[in-house]
Amino acid sequence: MTLVLRNVRPWGGDAADVTLDGGVIAAVGPVTPEGAAPAGGPAGSAAGAQVVEGRGRILLPSFSDVHVHLDSTLLGLPFRPHTGAPGVWNMMLNDRQNWRGAEASVAERATLTLGAMIERGTTRVRSYAQVDVDAGLERFEGVLAAREAHRDRADVAVIAFPQAGLLREAGSADVLEEALKLGADVVGGIDPCALDRDPVRHLDIVFGLAEKYSLPVDIHLHEPSQLGLFSAQLILERTKALGMQGLVTISHGYGLADLPAGQLQELIEEMGSLDVSMATIAPAGAPLPLQQLAAAGIRVGLGQDGQRDYWSPYGNADMLDRTWQLAFTSKFRADELIEHCVAVATVGGSSVIDPAANRLASVADRPGVDVGDPAELVLVEGGTVTAAVMDRLPGRTVIHRGRVVADSLQLV
């Protein structure tokens, strides 16, 4: 099916008609008058095409949420006050005590939240699914069910995630491996030093399973400053030793921004040389140095983390809101840098999920809406891209594989 987006502004630039065919952008040409047959496209493919009226809206690559916990979401349910005590282990125990008491199943909650994410412009997702001796595979299977429910509306990769660690409870590694056998796309890990207190054994398990099942790795790293640096260095050592360049992601990396400038730059350069990517949720406190990461060619993506769950009351399924948060916590004011946050939230995240996808070459790079690019797109309201981030207006049209999958202007 050929689809023409009439009168849209790629990355907020000049108005154009954009033709989608075969799941990619086939042509970008001048705007045709409303009611006239659209021109352009390969071999006149636009003739008889479906037309979406852009009304001068901004055309962006669709959002990529690369760090979301669909298995824990409570969006759509009655609000719950935050009851968790500080610390990863304490928060995990609080979640464990409460998650089965929700009014809806994991599958139902994950499906609702994923649908809301799609409606707001996200078509590429990397979600965690907690696997441990308490939940077994129940939460993992719930996320798989959500992915299946929206299989024609978004691409979802599922991370088998040992939230409780791998060494503190007997059988944890076995549950993780069982999830990999059932089709998990990524092997997860978490705080090798601070949580499991044995980074060598923890990383032996994570990277051993990744090598056994030929899967990428994504490791939560909440550890502070020098401890976080130590764990990151061990992760980089494993990446290099196993030849896993391009297949490893460090998520959060909270403590890395607190490192002395020299240590931080050295770490960034090594990450760049090994093509280790990063995922951030734009937390309060010291932000990731996005400009340094971009200069080193490091793939960086954005995610919403848990959304209104037992870990945090924040999150609303809207990656444009989280993009605003990334710009705000980074203390960005210049349009170029705020637009870079949009690029991170869209193309940047896509390259974290798929290292063969378009990558950001610099903070000024704006790929994803040119001929040959994937037809993963979103139309948003706004005078400029920065204005769209500041205002976060409704009126979005979402396109996945060249087909409209959500449109707030009409029923789909």
Instruction: Kindly state the tokens that stand for 186.
Output: 């990524």
pLDDT band at 33 (very low <50, low <70, confident <90, very high): confident
Q: Does the structure show a pLDDT above 80 at 411?
A: no
User: What is the model's pLDDT at position 50?
Assistant: 93
pLDDT band at 37 (very low <50, low <70, confident <90, very high): low
- Mean of pLDDT values over 108-122: 98
Q: Does the structure show a pLDDT above 60 at 45?
A: no
pLDDT band at 196 (very low <50, low <70, confident <90, very high): very high
Q: Which residues, other chains included, contact 289 with Cβ-Cβ below 8 Å and sequence gap of 6+?
A: 257, 264, 268
Within 10 A of 83 (CB to CB), how many other CB atoms are there? 11
User: What is the model's pLDDT at position 44?
Assistant: 46
pLDDT band at 131 (very low <50, low <70, confident <90, very high): very high
- Mean of pLDDT values over 389-393: 97
Average pLDDT, the chain: 95
User: What is the model's pLDDT at position 125?
Assistant: 98
User: What is the model's pLDDT at position 116?
Assistant: 98
Q: Does the structure show a pLDDT above 70 at 296?
A: yes
User: What is the model's pLDDT at position 48?
Assistant: 75
Instruction: Kindly state the tokens that stand for 212.
Output: 């056994």
Contact 188, 173 (CB under 8 A): no
- Mean of pLDDT values over 32-39: 70
Lowest mean pLDDT among 68-72, 283-287, 336-340: 283-287
- Mean of pLDDT values over 54-72: 98
pLDDT band at 412 (very low <50, low <70, confident <90, very high): very low
Q: Does the structure show a pLDDT above 80 at 47?
A: no
Cα→Cα distances 168→61, 94, 194, 221, 343, Å: 42, 16, 12, 17, 39
User: What is the model's pLDDT at position 46?
Assistant: 60
- Mean of pLDDT values over 185-197: 98
d(CA 226, CA 239): 20
Q: Does the structure show a pLDDT above 90 at 318?
A: yes
Model-level pTM?
0.95
Contact 330, 287 (CB under 8 A): yes
Q: Does the structure show a pLDDT above 90 at 42?
A: no
- Nearest alpha carbon to residue 317 among 62, 145, 68: 68
pLDDT band at 43 (very low <50, low <70, confident <90, very high): very low
Cα→Cα distances 331→122, 259, 358, Å: 24, 19, 26
Contact 62, 346 (CB under 8 A): yes
Share of the chain above pLDDT 70, in %: 96
- Mean of pLDDT values over 358-382: 97
User: What is the model's pLDDT at position 40?
Assistant: 55
User: What is the model's pLDDT at position 409?
Assistant: 75
User: What is the model's pLDDT at position 39?
Assistant: 58
Q: Does the structure show a pLDDT above 50 at 145?
A: yes
pLDDT for 91-111, tens place per residue? 999 999 999 999 999 999 999
